[in-house]
Amino acid sequence: MTHRLFPVLETTRLRLRLVVPEDAVVTATLMTPEVSRWVASWPVPFTVAMAQERIATARAQAESGEAISFAVTLRGDGTVLGWAMAHRMPNDPRCGTIGYWLGEAHHRQGYLRELAPALLATAFVWLDLDAVEASAHPENAASFAVMRRCGLRFRREAVIHAPARSRDEAVHIYGIRREECHA
């Protein structure tokens, strides 16, 4: 491995750092049915072994420059709140996706609004992308508000496969081009 330098993002209240093996237990604990219902690839139950595998994959993807997965932590005490991710699209390496989730106890505190601009800017720079998309279930108004606040605009409706539930599901896809981004 090349041992790339991975970004650490800081906002007023948060620090985002590359996920590490020690995050497995808290990741498994935070992934509840209420959280999983909004994310396509995080099933429940989400075991510690599944978290360990997800973290190992995320770290390998970061090393290869294909993606970066951050543990979202509080700056003060390092408490893990959830994850934020940026991935290069396999069919278009100049386009990427961002995603994020927080444990239930951390909802409605403005954390995603705080971290999303830093995540978006890092996706463009660290992955060297021309465009970024994000998607959410049509009823996930909170996620769409975060996307719009970062300047992403509605692009299209789509149907994706949600491995967490072993079915196809509708999503709304929002996007932004690098030159439109002011994050």
18 in any annotated domain:
yes
For the entire predicted model, the pTM comes to 0.94
165 in any annotated domain:
no
What pLDDT, in 10s, does the model give residues 135-159?
A: 999 999 999 999 999 999 999 999 9
Residue ranges of the alpha helices (H) in the chain?
Answer: 24-30, 33-36, 48-64, 111-126, 141-149
2 in any annotated domain:
no
pLDDT score, position 10: 96
Q: How many angstroms separate the CA atoms of 147 and 133, rounded?
A: 9
The closest alpha carbon to 37, from 139, 125, 122, 131, belongs to 139
The helix (run of H) or strand (run of E) holding residue 141 is helix 141-149
Residue ranges of the alpha helices (H) in 31-139?
Answer: 33-36, 48-64, 111-126
pLDDT score, position 72: 98
150 in any annotated domain:
no
CATH classification of the domain holding 71: 3.40.630.30
The total number of residues shown for the chain amounts to: 183
pLDDT score, position 183: 62
Section 23-38 average pLDDT: 97
66 in any annotated domain:
yes
The closest alpha carbon to 43, from 28, 56, 58, belongs to 28
Domain that holds residue 98: 9-130
Section 95-123 average pLDDT: 96
What pLDDT, in 10s, does the model give residues 75-85?
A: 999 999 999 99
What pLDDT, in 10s, does the model give residues 45-90?
A: 999 999 999 999 999 999 999 999 999 999 999 999 999 999 999 9
pLDDT score, position 1: 42
pLDDT score, position 155: 97
pLDDT score, position 41: 93
Count of structural domains within the chain:
1
151 in any annotated domain:
no
160 in any annotated domain:
no
**Two tokens at 151?**
């300047």
- Whether residue 81 contacts residue 74, with contact meaning beta carbons closer than 8 Å, is answered with yes
